[in-house]
Amino acid sequence: MKTERLEFLADINRYTQRYAQWIGRQCREKSIKAVAEETNIGWDAIKELDKLYMNRQMEANPIEPPRRIGIDELAIGRGHSYRILIHDLDRRRPNWFGDDRGRSREAIDSYFQSLSDTERVGIELGVMDMWGPYRASLEANCPNAVVHYDHFHLAKHLGEAIDKVRKAEYKRMEGSQRRYIKGSKYILLSHRNNLDAKGRRSLDELLRVNRRLNKAYLLKESFSRIWTYKSEGWARRFFDQWKASLKWQRLEPLERFARLVEGHWDGIVRALDPNCKIPMGFVEGMNTKIRAIQKRAYGVRDEDYLRLKILTSTLPKL
């Protein structure tokens, strides 16, 4: 018996390419379970059709050598299991999804080793958090690249310092004064203009009764001024004054934050360089999109499926 390949059929038997493509488009916005229930097709078949669709998306949109990259990580499952993500910041697409070596130097090195010598030389900027192996790997593999610490991660460190001050004050206070601090994490970490009327009243009352939290909050709010300067010299002068204002305040978490900034100053101040301006809206939007993908893929243990979902999340539909 002779078998003939029909071009309109998908690689998975019993489905046409057109139907597989339709399934893939549905899975861009819906979970496998939802599409399976809607089509009355088995869960496993839907997943395989979706993977077929995403692989074809990748073939139609090959990854090009990046010039400016973002290095981030994604938490997998419970605990502290991570996968490194590399973004092309100019083309605004994820380029690479790491393996189970997590955030290690070996894991990030494997990305750069997958590039040619010419491609590594062509990388000019690496945007990252302050995790040491990221910088060490970029500098070792990409001789023309400079480091830029994104201010979202810096703001996160500052917020964590403020919350440590809040917790220390809660332990220090006694009796009725504790009631002002309990449950105040959100209002302390928010900008005043982002709070509703009730939140602003609670914030004002808290800052009125607790001098140390008042000082910590004012320092947090004023630190954002560092991004308004156009020269490193003026930014440095502001930071030195900000750091000096910590003296005698007994705000150890903020003192540690100041030492963190001091130790990473070159990568932080690079944000003021016009040549290093990056689309931070894309980075934050991408993080939101990835969280939505993880939620839709909850219960799917196929890591290759998650990798394809993320790498194709910004690609056009077929």
Tokens of 177: 């004064």
Cβ-based neighbour number of residue 7 at 10 Å: 5
Name every residue whose Cβ is closer than 8 Å to that of residue 132 and which is 6 or more positions away in sequence. Answer: none
Instruction: Kindly state the average pLDDT of the residues 242-252.
Output: 92
Instruction: Write the single-letter amino acid at 11.
Output: D
Check pLDDT > 60 for residue 24: yes
pLDDT by residue (tens digit) across 128-181? 999 999 999 999 999 999 999 988 889 999 999 999 999 999 888 877 778 888
pLDDT by residue (tens digit) across 193-208? 899 999 999 999 999 9
The residue extents of the domains of the chain are 17-60, 68-150+278-301, 152-272
Helix (H) or strand (E) holding 149: strand 146-149
Superfamily of domain 68-150+278-301: Ribonuclease H-like superfamily/Ribonuclease H (3.30.420.10)
Q: Which three-class secondary structure state does DSSP give residue 140?
A: helix
Tokens of 275: 């040549």
What's the CA dihedral at 147, 153, 158, 163 to 10 degrees? -150
Name every residue whose Cβ is closer than 8 Å to that of residue 240 and which is 6 or more positions away in sequence. Answer: none
Give percent above pLDDT 70 in the chain.
94
